Structure 1
Amino acid sequence: MSSPASCAAAPDSLLSTPPAADAASSGAFGTPALSRASCVVDVFDMHCAACAVTVEQALRDQPGVQSARVHYATQRAQISFDPAQVTLDSLLRCIERMGYSADAAGSENRAEIVRRQRHRRIWGFGLATFCAMQIMMLTLPRFLAGTDIEPELAPLLDWSALALVLPVMWWSARPFYQGAARELRLRRPGMDCAITLGTVTAFAGSVWHLLANTGALYFDSVAMFVALLLGVRWLEWEQRERNQAVIQQAAGAASRGQALRVQEGVDGVRMVPTDVDALQPGDRVWVRTGEAIPVDGRLDSEIALCDESLLTGESVSVRRQRGENVVAGAINLGAPITVRATATAATSTEQRLLLLADNATKPETLAFADIVARYFMPALLLLAIGTFVALLPAGVATATERAIAVLIISCPCALALAAPAAHARAFSGLLARGVVLRRASALERLARSNAFLLDKTGTLSDPAVARVSELRPGYPEQRALTVIAALEQAANHPLAVALRGAHAFDVVVTDADWQPGHGVSGRIAGRAYRFGRADYVGLNDECLRSDRRLWLADDEGAVCALDLSERLREDASALVKQLLASGQVELLSGDHPERAAAVARTLGIEVSEGSASPERKAARVQRLRQEGRIVVMIGDGVNDSVGFAGADVAIAVHGATDAAKASADLICESPGLLPVAEAVAYARRVVQVVRWNFGWAIAYNLLAIPFAIAGAVNPLVASVGMAGSSAIVLLNVMRLGGGREKFSDPAVAR
């Protein structure tokens, strides 16, 4: 349940989007009036896809709630709301009224809530298991002896079995009662209603038979049924908690990094690389184009264009003005900006929202599970009632027994677990392979993918500087490289990273600016410098223009030229071979067509396109989709984000810009390219397991229900079959594995 501590922490977990007029009237570090807020909430006790649907619908029905997304695999809800109409506390109370525990994400109370839940699950399962074993010991002599049992011993065994089943019905089965009450209150009968109906009917019928001294007793079936189902749910809950721990660990690793802190000194203003964790309120931070804002803050620059889709789920760019709040994780889409921090990395919005990121539509299999959970129960009730009515001529006892068997054996547990359990496992499995799955729906599209579009520079190859040429007489080469590296602080592309890493610099750059695709500029010691293409730096002679040469120029003209080269990544060839075995592969690059074609020939790619602008990349994606292809785009740069938005699946490789990561469905955090191929193969395995699970669950119900109606199975056998089918589903999911395995794709093997 929520606590004062969690509610007090709530404001820190809000993503505020204030209007410009309100922001302008706020103090430097004050809180502006809010027109919209978003928060992330941990929702506990969800045990099936229908639970997530129930919570979603209840939240959306609250006044002031603009959107709500409940992610079953991570047990979290992302909510956008108008704080003038509803508060975080009221949203938490709404969730709790439905019978779930809830708290603000990142709250210190989570560990205690999880501990209490684990304690309750262990005791519930342990009590049910112990009682079931004891009842079986009492029931076994009755089965073996039959009518030969001594008359005075039979009542003693039967009443002892009743005494042992009472704690199971009163305590262990309580979660099912709470779930059934919740479903009935919301008029959504589902799995808990089926479980409750089966157990209560079997228990009540057995008590009636015991009092009337006639008919069969099913106390053993009831206890075993509850114990097995609690055990299955406990196993799934533990798996989700392990996934949550892995996700939180990945979130903490992803939030670490470096930012450029603006430092003012006697020699002017300079940008100092600083760990994000070391930033404090009041620090000024330089944010490059295409880079994520590292901490919550206020805009110091005149204007900024921000992409907050990572946080809000909305792809519309937001225009910010000086003094307005900007949030950690938002992508700077315009010119470089300066932000004054108002929070640390630990308390910034991104820390709470990172990796929730299930803003896309739900996976098809999870949507199917929702439908099953919503509509299976009414059909099951009608079938049980029909069985009872049809068999009344054979006697009330026979009709009741077979109706109970139908209710128990056809419980939709296996159907409801088939997809969610596999998707929950997939999150941790991909993370173990160094891949973060931001949108669960992309997993199924990735499994069906048959067209792959690859970026070149930064994805398949790394830029390298060959040599300095055309150096101005008397100008030191090292000085030129220092100036270039200092200017490249403002840029956010693979070459800039390579230059900054290869050459140290201690000069102060002011008025820095970056024009993607053209070059960077700034002032050093009062002198204006430009570095980039010949026409950008002011060299208009056609003979000086070359795609393999960049120029550094100052007020006096050209300083030097930098001849460039590139080297293929070691695993680029292996990636392309593995992707070719899965479908069509094309190379799209903004580089010169000849160089793009040369790299394509080296890697065995038949189709390549050079000088491809972001718009042309996006157009190619759309053409392939119109041809019926499932398109996966793999890239790393700002210019790939447009194509990412249109692709069926977007994958950002290791070292990708924040803009590319914000648009990606999967993000590779491990170095190298093979995690991409491993993700494709793993996605196919996950979908195969989900389909197998659905096939098994449906086949089980189609085969088992007729046997129950015909009287071929009694409630005891039915309870074992129901729990066994769920256990088979989970065991099949466990085959996916959580650790990193050697790449194996059936398509490649062929």
Structure 2
Amino acid sequence: MTDVLADPAEPVELAIGGMTCAACAARVERKLNKLEGVTATVNYATEHASVALAAPVPVRRLIDQVESAGYQAREITRDDDAGDRPDRVRALWRRLVVALLAGVPLADLSITLALVPSLRFPGWQWVLLALTVPVVTWCAWPFHAKALRAARHGTGSMDTLVSLGVVAASGWSVYTMFARSADAHSEGVWGLILQPAGSMYLDVAAGVTIFVLAGRMFEARAKHTAGGALRALARIGARDVVVLDENGGERRIPVTGLRAGDRFVVRPGDTVATDGVVETGACAIDASAMTGESQPVEVAAGDTVVGGTVALGGRLVVRAERVGAGTQLAQLVRLVERAQSDKAAVQRLADRIASVFVPVVLVLALLTLGGWLLGGAPAEKAVSCALAVLIIACPCALGLATPTALLVASGRGAQLGVFIKGHQALESAKAIDTVVLDKTGTLTAGAMSVAALEVADGYSRATVLAAAAAVENASEHGVGRAIVELARAELGTVGEVEDFRALSGLGVSGRVDGREVRVGSARLVRAEAGAIPSVLESRRKHWEAEGKTAVAVAVDDQVCAVFALADTVRPSAAGAVAELRALGLRTVMLTGDNESTARAVAAEVGVDEVIAEVLPADKASVIARLRSEGRVVAMVGDGINDGPALAGADLGMALVSGTDVAVGACDLILMRTDLAVVPAAVRLARATLRTIRGNLRWAFGYNIAALPLAAAGLLNPLIAGAAMALSSLFVVSNSLRLRRFEQENGTPDAVSTVDKRVSAAH
């Protein structure tokens, strides 16, 4: 696979091995970007490289370029799990266990012999050395191997600092034990904390190895955990599927063998194998794993179903429309993968600092060593201070500060039904002060429903409804569908129509049970049936003033009823707008509907400002005008005409139920029709940025404060190693707190609820 040409239309995803800090990621990124037509982004936390190509490039060439920098690379396939694999955690755990078994007695013995030299026995040096060797060789080998690999390519990394520290401490200790008197005096407990008593650093070498291994293991475990949401999404898909042949026979095949056009069976409790259209059958579908919606959706022949959803009852026969990488589930998984491999601006700053940090620290360690020696300090004191500088300066926390927070936020967002297409969306959300909401299909359901029916004297509601529904049943218009749905709900059946005619822009007519029936605008019924009775006319004008659509019904040239239809406001719209306002955001409705309709909806949901009667082509101009006024704008939409506005806003959010154009133009995809997900997305973005800022303050502050202390001789190298490991652990743990985001509010978890529904179906 690696000798094929990569398609420029699809970024190449590479797994990068051997990186140990942000400086490594920056080095791989620079190396890849030296290739003509290649734009690469390398993420240290995910250990992934996303490579965009201007022209076809052999994947093998990309891998060779990474390997020439001293790292490993392989192309990521669709079957790969996200995050670190458990075997890496186990390998680090094995080395840590051996390091603890040898290092703990080594530390006890060396500290005791340092504090009480009279307890030293013949051959004590060999005992200490025997305990030290397995720790500083096999246990610390990952650090040495990566440092040697970097040195061969004339570079350095965090492992360079760790390896040099371990080797220098061990070497100096061996020299001290066998070439010097080794009868150093005890400096007491505080002397042991600030500087080791005597000049033996075997316990330091072992301690640093233990602390760094522990930090790496917890980091690897945290990254594996943070990728859990993505792995859960990937597991939602079916593994195999029952396909029907031409004769109706069934055979079970792996889902990878399914092709577009194939017919497959979905039984109660089964996961829908791929996106398709229901040919026969009806049942309730649990879409919570994909959308977070708590209520099942009824589907029947002609309805579309999405792969990854679960049938709760009944048997369906579905015709596959999109398979493999083209399914909605596969596209969403890809979005999360790319978002987690994306790089925010704050991370690029940290990468630039980390890329020069290692050589600066090496120079600082040499200056510290030389400064103490020139100042007349003993060699062991100078070596101890230089070791502390090497160890304390490892920029691990700096490299993890941003990507771990973004990694966890992407996974948690996917669970909540917010798919982040790029981390620039999180950064944009920080400054948002205005949220522009499309009306039709966003604040409203985008489907007409009958709000009221006024019937003239002498006619019954059932008679009028039956006549109107029979005519409208032959129409595809939204008004007709709403009337038919009401008739089915109240009457159970819909009659037949003869001589049906559709009058464009006016309405429909036909013959029902021998009577001429017309349903349409006031203009149509006036022209065909004369004046509208005053009671019905008054009601019609009142409904139109409220923003509803009025449709009149005439039977045998007598106007007998008026329907009021409205695009139903989503139940969650008012609450979502209130939450947005509580977050300090100004809300604006942007719609092409008439002013009265728009203001009626705005009053119902509580929007601050209304911009109505806007042509589709002008929506982007409105966004541009708002931005020119100094507003930082988020746009929420769903239609084709919303695409330019979504792309032009500082932050675009599209409902997944919307068109491909809208989804393609946005920054965040909202998987739930419950609009509460809009303020939840804003809060998630803000919480993530707060976490990143806290991580960076800690990482920068830690290094700025610790380096002068180490150079001044106020830090034991062992304490420095522990502080360095704990710094990285703090950053990762702080980022993992985002996994609990919104749990206290009871926000539905789109991934975790599906298993319960499947069990209930069985």
What is the TM-score of this pair, normalised by structure 2?
0.69
TM-fit CA distance, 1:382: 2.2
Q: 1:77 aligns with which of 49, 60, 63?
A: 49
Distance 1:255 1:61, change over 3 A: farther
Q: Distance in 2 between matches of 1:633 and 1:197?
A: 53
Structure 1 residues 2-30: Cα deviation after superposition (integer angstroms, max 9, x where no partner): xxxxx38x97xx9857xxxxxxxxxxxxx
Partner of 2:440, secondary structure, is coil
- Corresponding letter in the other structure for 1:454: L
TM-fit CA distance, 1:53: 3.0
Alignment of 1:451 onto 2:421: no
Aligned partner of 1:228 in structure 2 is 211
Q: Which moved more, 1:69-78 or 1:374-383?
A: 69-78
Alignment of 1:102 onto 2:74: yes
Q: Are 2:38 and 2:54, in contact at CA under 8 Å, matched by a contact in 1?
A: yes
- Corresponding letter in the other structure for 2:175: W
TM-fit CA distance, 1:346: 7.5
Partner of 2:743, secondary structure, is coil
Aligned partner of 2:304 in structure 1 is none
- Corresponding letter in the other structure for 1:403: A
Distance 1:701 1:569, change over 3 A: same
Aligned partner of 2:195 in structure 1 is none
Q: Are 1:614 and 1:642, in contact at CA under 8 Å, matched by a contact in 2?
A: no
Q: Are 1:423 and 1:440, in contact at CA under 8 Å, matched by a contact in 2?
A: yes
Alignment of 1:211 onto 2:178: yes
- Corresponding letter in the other structure for 1:464: M
Alignment of 1:389 onto 2:359: no
Q: Are 2:204 and 2:717, in contact at CA under 8 Å, matched by a contact in 1?
A: yes
TM-fit CA distance, 1:439: 0.7
- Corresponding letter in the other structure for 2:348: A
Report matched runs for 1:236-635 at 5 Å. Answer: 236-250=219-233, 280-281=258-259, 283=261, 350=331, 353-358=334-339, 362-393=343-374, 394=376, 395-462=378-445, 463-466=447-450, 477-478=468-469, 480-484=471-475, 543=523, 549=549, 564-581=565-582, 582-635=584-637
Greater radius of gyration (CA): 2
Q: Are 1:295 and 1:341, in contact at CA under 8 Å, matched by a contact in 2?
A: yes
- Corresponding letter in the other structure for 2:595: P
Q: Distance in 2 between matches of 1:531 and 1:566?
A: 22
Aligned partner of 1:122 in structure 2 is 93
**Number of matched pairs:** 612
- Corresponding letter in the other structure for 1:737: R
Aligned partner of 1:196 in structure 2 is 163
Q: Distance in 1 between matches of 2:87 and 2:101?
A: 21
Structure 1 residues 520-573: Cα deviation after superposition (integer angstroms, max 9, x where no partner): xxxxxxx99979855999x99994699855999xxxxxxx99863133222222
Q: Distance in 2 between matches of 1:70 and 1:83?
A: 20
Q: Distance in 2 between matches of 1:96 and 1:180?
A: 15
Q: Are 1:677 and 1:743, in contact at CA under 8 Å, matched by a contact in 2?
A: no
Alignment of 1:139 onto 2:122: no
- Corresponding letter in the other structure for 2:365: A
Aligned partner of 1:682 in structure 2 is 684
Aligned partner of 2:649 in structure 1 is 647
Q: Are 1:236 and 1:421, in contact at CA under 8 Å, matched by a contact in 2?
A: no
Q: Are 2:18 and 2:72, in contact at CA under 8 Å, matched by a contact in 1?
A: yes
Structure 1 residues 179-226: Cα deviation after superposition (integer angstroms, max 9, x where no partner): 434544555533232222322222222222223234512222222222
TM-fit CA distance, 1:689: 2.0
TM-fit CA distance, 1:405: 1.1
Q: Are 1:388 and 1:400, in contact at CA under 8 Å, matched by a contact in 2?
A: yes
TM-fit CA distance, 1:708: 1.7
Alignment of 1:172 onto 2:146: no
* Alignment root-mean-square deviation, CA: 4.7
TM-fit CA distance, 1:606: 2.3
Q: Distance in 1 between matches of 2:223 and 2:501?
A: 54
Q: Are 2:347 and 2:402, in contact at CA under 8 Å, matched by a contact in 1?
A: yes
Q: Are 1:428 and 1:738, in contact at CA under 8 Å, matched by a contact in 2?
A: no
Structure 1 residues 670-689: Cα deviation after superposition (integer angstroms, max 9, x where no partner): 44122221222222222222
Q: Are 2:335 and 2:420, in contact at CA under 8 Å, matched by a contact in 1?
A: no
Distance 1:58 1:456, change over 3 A: same
Aligned partner of 2:710 in structure 1 is 708
Q: Are 1:572 and 1:673, in contact at CA under 8 Å, matched by a contact in 2?
A: yes
TM-fit CA distance, 1:481: 4.8
Partner of 2:40, secondary structure, is strand
Distance 1:278 1:403, change over 3 A: closer
Structure 1 residues 109-143: Cα deviation after superposition (integer angstroms, max 9, x where no partner): x6999243233222223223333223212223123
Q: Are 1:243 and 1:424, in contact at CA under 8 Å, matched by a contact in 2?
A: yes
Distance 1:678 1:279, change over 3 A: same
TM-fit CA distance, 1:452: 1.3
Q: Distance in 1 between matches of 2:163 and 2:368?
A: 18
Distance 1:698 1:148, change over 3 A: same
Q: Distance in 1 between matches of 2:144 and 2:426?
A: 34
- Corresponding letter in the other structure for 1:378: P
TM-fit CA distance, 1:374: 0.7
Q: Are 1:641 and 1:660, in contact at CA under 8 Å, matched by a contact in 2?
A: yes
- Corresponding letter in the other structure for 2:710: A
Report matched runs for 1:8-157 at 5 Å. Answer: 16=7, 38-44=11-17, 46-62=19-35, 66-81=38-53, 85-86=57-58, 88-95=59-66, 98-107=70-79, 114-145=85-116, 147-150=117-120, 152-153=121-122, 155-156=123-124
Q: Distance in 2 between matches of 1:500 and 1:189?
A: 73
Distance 1:635 1:181, change over 3 A: farther
Distance 1:343 1:599, change over 3 A: closer
Q: Distance in 1 between matches of 2:83 and 2:398?
A: 32
Q: Distance in 1 between matches of 2:209 and 2:481?
A: 59
- Corresponding letter in the other structure for 2:62: L
Q: Are 2:26 and 2:351, in contact at CA under 8 Å, matched by a contact in 1?
A: yes
TM-fit CA distance, 1:648: 1.8
Unaligned runs of at least 5 residues, structure 1:
1-6, 18-35, 257-263, 265-276, 286-293, 297-327, 329-338, 489-494, 505-526, 553-559, 745-750
Q: Distance in 2 between matches of 1:112 and 1:446?
A: 26
Distance 1:599 1:47, change over 3 A: farther
Distance 1:692 1:479, change over 3 A: same
Distance 1:71 1:711, change over 3 A: closer
Partner of 2:422, secondary structure, is coil
Q: Distance in 1 between matches of 2:7 and 2:685?
A: 35
Percent identity at matched positions? 28
| Larger RCO (alpha carbons 8 Å, 6+ apart) | 2
Distance 1:76 1:397, change over 3 A: closer
Partner of 1:362, secondary structure, is coil
- Corresponding letter in the other structure for 1:41: L
Q: 2:670 aligns with which of 664, 668, 679?
A: 668
Q: Distance in 2 between matches of 1:714 and 1:67?
A: 44
Partner of 2:208, secondary structure, is helix
TM-fit CA distance, 1:460: 1.8
Q: Are 1:452 and 1:631, in contact at CA under 8 Å, matched by a contact in 2?
A: yes
- Corresponding letter in the other structure for 1:388: L
Distance 1:222 1:278, change over 3 A: closer
Partner of 2:587, secondary structure, is strand
Distance 1:367 1:657, change over 3 A: same
TM-fit CA distance, 1:451: 1.7
TM-fit CA distance, 1:423: 1.6
